[in-house]
Structure 1
C-alpha cells in the first residue's frame, strides 16, 4: 500500500509541473507575453492552494476514496482541455483547474499516515513524499522529452489518460475511510482558522516550507529559460537531462523521515534550510567557463531539491503527530500556506528573469532560504 500511495501521489502532483519546462513553447503557441509566462505555473499553484483550503478539508468529513476519485476525474478533464486550446486565457483557466483537482494527492498522504503505525509514521510519510517529490522532479524531464518527440500538447493528453486510469485503480484498491468529525462543511472550514491560531508548530513549519518552496519554484520556473537562452543553448532534450539529474535530491526524503522519527527534527531542519541557501550561493560565487557554469547549475538543482524535500518531510512528520481527526485540515493548511510561497516564487521568477536576467533570479532565490533561516533562529529549543 505504501508503494501504491507513493506512486499515486507522484503521478498526481506531476500534473502541476509538466508546464514548468515548457513555458517557452506554450507561451509562443498561446500568444502569452514573455513577462507573464510565469502565470502558467502560478495559476496552477493558486488552484492547488484553493483546493488545499476548500477541498482537502473534506477528507475529515467525506469518504476519502470517493473524494479522490472525483478530484482525479476533474484533473483529467482539465488536462484534456489544456491540450486542445490555443488561447492563452483558456489555457490559464485549464491550468487553474489542473491545480484544483490535483489536491487529491494531499488526501492520499493523510490516508497513508492514518493507516501507518505511530512509531513508523515518519518513515511512511517519507516514502510517500519521496514518490510525490519524484513526480515533481520527473515531470519536468518527461514533459521536455515528450515535447521534443511529439509536441507540448502530447504530454497533457498522455497525462489525462494516465490520471483517468489512476482514478479507477485507486477506487478499486483503496480501503474505504469514512471520517466521523461530526461537523458540517462550513463549520469544518471555520475550524481551520482556529487550528491555524492555536497550532504554533503548523505556523512555523509552514513558514519554513513556504520560503523553501518559493525558492524551488522560482529556480525551476526560470532555469529552463536560462538553459535554452544564448549562454547555454540547450534543446528541450538537454533541459530534460538537466532536470532528470535533479531527481537525485529526492533521496533526502526517507532520510529526513527516519531522523524525524528519532527526534532529530531540529537539526534536520537546520541542514535543509542551509542547503537551500547554499544552492543559490554556489552559482553567484562561481563564474567560469560555460561547462563549469552548467555543472554548477546541476549541483544547484540537486542541493536545492535535497533541502526542499528534507524540510517538507520533517514538517509533515510534525503535523501528522497531531490528532488524527484534524489531520486532513492540518495538512491542507500546511500545504496551502507553503504553496502560496511557491506561487510567489514562480511568478517572481519569470518577472525577475525578464527584468534583471539570471543573476536577478539567483539573488531573489537566495532571499527565500535566508528568510527561513532567520525565522528558524527564533525557534525555541525543546
Structure 2
C-alpha cells in the first residue's frame, strides 16, 4: 500500500508534464501558421505576377484574422469543452491550408489566409487549458511551459518556412503544416482529456461579459496595459531590425534578421523558469524585474547600432524580459476568476496585440526620422510606461 501511495504523486506529476508538453506543442504548431507566410512574399509575387502589388495583404489579413479569432472564438473555451474546440479548429484550419496550398489566384490565397488567422487561435485555448489542469501552486510553471511552446512556434516558424520553400516551393509549406496538424489531432484524441465548461452564458452575453470583467478587475486592467506596453517595445525592435541590418555597416539580407529569431528562442526556453519564480516569489516581483530587463535591452540596443554581438545580447535580454512578464501576467490574471479563464485571457491578449500593432507603427514612424537611436529611445519610453502602470498607478490607488 505504501509503495502504491508513494508512486501516485510521481505518476500524477509525469502525467501533468506530458499533458503540458502536448499543450505546448499544440500552441506552437498552431500559432506558427500565422507566421509561415512572412518569408514567402517574394515567392507569392513570382507566382502571381499580375497581382504582385497585393502580396502584402497576405500577412496583413492573417494577423487581422488572428485578432478577430481571439475576440470571437477564444472565449468559447469557458462555454464548451476545450478539447473539442481544439479539434474542430484543427479541422477548419486544415481545410484553409489545403485551399492555400492549391490557390490558383492571389485573391484565393488572401481569403484562405484570413481563415488561417482566425482558426490559428487554437493556441489561445491551450494556455487557459494548462491553467485549468495545474494545481494553483504550479500554475505559473504550467502556463510558462505552454507559452514556451507558443513562443518557439512564433520564433521558428519563419525559419522552417524559409527552409521548406527553398527546397520544395511555397505551396509545400502549407502542405507540411496540414500533415503536422493531422498528426497532432491523432495525439490529441488519444491523450488530451476533456475540459469542464465553466459558463452557461449564451454566445452574445459571453462576449459582453468580457467588458464587465475588465471593469470589475483592476488587476486585469493593470496586467493588460503592462503587457501591451512591453509587447509594443518588443515589436518596435523586431519591426525595424531588418532595416538596420540592411544598411551600413552590416549590408545583410532578410535571412539574417530571421536568424535572430533563433537567438530569441532563449527567451522562450526561459519561460518555464519564469513561471516557477512567479509561483515562488509572486508574479508582481517577476514583472518588476522583467520591466528592468526590457529597459536594459534598449540601452544595449542604443549602443549597438554597429555591433552584431551587441544586438545578439540585447535580443536575449529583451526576449527573456518580455516573456517572463508575459508568463507572470497570465499567471496572475488566471487566478482572478477561474470560471472565466478563456475570457480573461482574451481581454489580455487583445490588449497585448493592440500594443504590438502600436509598437510596429511607432517603429515605422521613428526609424526614418530619428534612426536606430530614436528606435531605442522609443523602446525605453514603452518600458517606462509599463513601469509607471505597474508601480506608480497601484501605489497611487492604494492611497485613495
Which TM-score applies when normalising by structure 2? 0.83
Instruction: Give the match's secondary structure for 2:356.
Output: helix
Counterpart of 1:332 in structure 2 is: 346
Paired with 1:364 and 1:28, the residues of 2 have a C-alpha distance of 36
Cα RMSD (Å) of the superposition? 2.9
Paired with 2:236 and 2:228, the residues of 1 have a C-alpha distance of 12
Of structures 1 and 2, the larger Rg is shown by 2
Cα distance per residue 1:94-153 (max 9 Å; x no partner): 333222111111111111211111111111111111111122122232223334444444
1:137 maps onto 2:155 in alignment: yes
Matching residue within 166, 178, 203 for 2:221: 203
1:294 maps onto 2:308 in alignment: yes
- Which shows bigger deviation, 230-239 or 114-123? 230-239
1:13 maps onto 2:27 in alignment: no
Counterpart of 1:280 in structure 2 is: 298
Paired with 1:17 and 1:276, the residues of 2 have a C-alpha distance of 24
Paired with 1:319 and 1:367, the residues of 2 have a C-alpha distance of 25
Counterpart of 1:342 in structure 2 is: 356
Paired with 2:379 and 2:47, the residues of 1 have a C-alpha distance of 28
The Cα of 1:356 is off from its aligned counterpart by 6.6
Match runs of 1:132-281 below 5 Å: 132-228=150-246, 231-235=249-253, 237-281=255-299
Contact 1:75-1:98 within 8 A present in 2 as well: yes
Question: Structure 1 residues 128, 365: CA separation in 2 closer, same or farther (over 3 Å shift)?
Answer: same
Counterpart of 1:50 in structure 2 is: 68
Instruction: Tell me the matched-pair count.
Output: 376
Counterpart of 1:117 in structure 2 is: 135
- Any unmatched runs of 5+ in structure 2? 1-18
Paired with 2:272 and 2:220, the residues of 1 have a C-alpha distance of 21
- Which shows bigger deviation, 112-121 or 170-179? 170-179
Instruction: Give the match's secondary structure for 2:219.
Output: helix
The Cα of 1:332 is off from its aligned counterpart by 1.4
The Cα of 1:85 is off from its aligned counterpart by 4.4
Paired with 2:224 and 2:295, the residues of 1 have a C-alpha distance of 18
Cα distance per residue 1:237-269 (max 9 Å; x no partner): 544433212211223312221121123322211
Instruction: Give the match's secondary structure for 1:119.
Output: helix
Contact 1:282-1:296 within 8 A present in 2 as well: yes
The Cα of 1:187 is off from its aligned counterpart by 1.5
Matching residue within 92, 109, 116 for 1:74: 92
Counterpart of 2:382 in structure 1 is: 368
Which TM-score applies when normalising by structure 1? 0.86
Contact 2:61-2:110 within 8 A present in 1 as well: yes
Match runs of 1:305-320 below 5 Å: 305-320=319-334
The Cα of 1:236 is off from its aligned counterpart by 5.6
The Cα of 1:25 is off from its aligned counterpart by 5.3
